[in-house]
Amino acid sequence: MTPRRSVLYLPASNPRAVEKARTLPCDVVVLDLEDAVGPDDKAAARDAAVAALRQGGFQAREVGVRVNGLDTEWGDADLTALYAASPAFIVAPKVSTADQAAAFTARLPDGAALWAMIETPQALFHLDAIAATARMGALMLGVNDLAAMLRSAPSPDREPLKTAMSLTVAAARAHGLSPIDGVFNALDDDAGFEAECRQGRLYGFDGKSLIHPRQIAPANAAFAPSADDIAWAEAVVAAFDDPAHVGKGVIRVHGAMVERLHLARARDTLALHDLAGTL
């Protein structure tokens, strides 16, 4: 289990942002070679990402790179350059089919996982096959591109995207992957960001993609177990550990019936709390 509450994107071409990211308490850093980097800066950004990975020094538990698509003039060169740089994962943009995912998997650096961005309508009809791709580690919902392709109108509660959110989480959970919620663009809307984090957690996402360091703390708080979550988990574990309940599949805890599936979730909650506290 790896906490992925806060997944911060930053342009690999910005040395100041990369250096700042080494000091930030986000769970994951993504050095971006795609959307955040203009065509004229692609080669320099690629070299900078390789150098940053080799230098290391990030607080984040995982550092990966979002590469350009293999259908662009930069994607192949990105993966070639990163092969010996040891990223924890590669983010593949606009993965619409399992074949596209497999094309990235075939080029992954040793030890790296593949994180697929779900940001096209076509991807929604291939989620299970995409999630089943070898070395897949996470499904990342790309809300901006998906909303644009769906031609959906803006909505404060993301009404047009709720089906995509549920399907992405379901596909990820079915294959033991991390579902990561999409970005929130309104940097000055703190209340809106916190509300969207709560919504993402309600839907089952492990964490949220971020575009600014100021979003790290509220994301970490929203996707970490709350005090009530921890109290419930401790009560469930203690109840099943009680010698009086040995061998029982269903017991009563705080007036509610809980099963052993709840015990597994309780242990996961406590493990996540312990891991998050080590950063």
Which residues participate in the annotated binding site for Mg(2+)?
119, 145
Torsion of CA 206, 211, 213, 217, to 10 degrees: -30
Residues contacting residue 275 through CB under 8 Å, at least 6 positions apart: 1, 2, 3
Could you tell me if 233 and 221 are in contact, meaning their C-beta atoms sit under 8 angstroms apart? no
> In 3-state terms, what secondary structure has residue 61?
coil
Q: Rounded distance, CA 18 to CA 73, Å?
A: 25
Sign for the pseudo-dihedral over CA of 276, 188, 140, 105: negative
Q: Match 């996707």 to its residue by tokens.
A: 223
Helical axes 75-82 vs 42-55, angle rounded to 10°: 20
Output the known binding site.
Answer: 66, 119, 145
Q: Can you tell me the distance from the alpha carbon of 51 to that of 45, in angstroms, rounded to the nearest whole number? A: 10
Handedness of CA 74, 75, 77, 78 (dihedral sign): positive
Helix (H) / strand (E) element for 161: namely none
Q: Which residue has the tokens 């419930």?
A: 232
Residue showing tokens 């040891």: 86
Cα angle, residue 47 at apex, residues 66 and 133 outer, rounded to 5°? 30
Query: Residue 10: phi, psi to the nearest 5?
Result: -150, 145
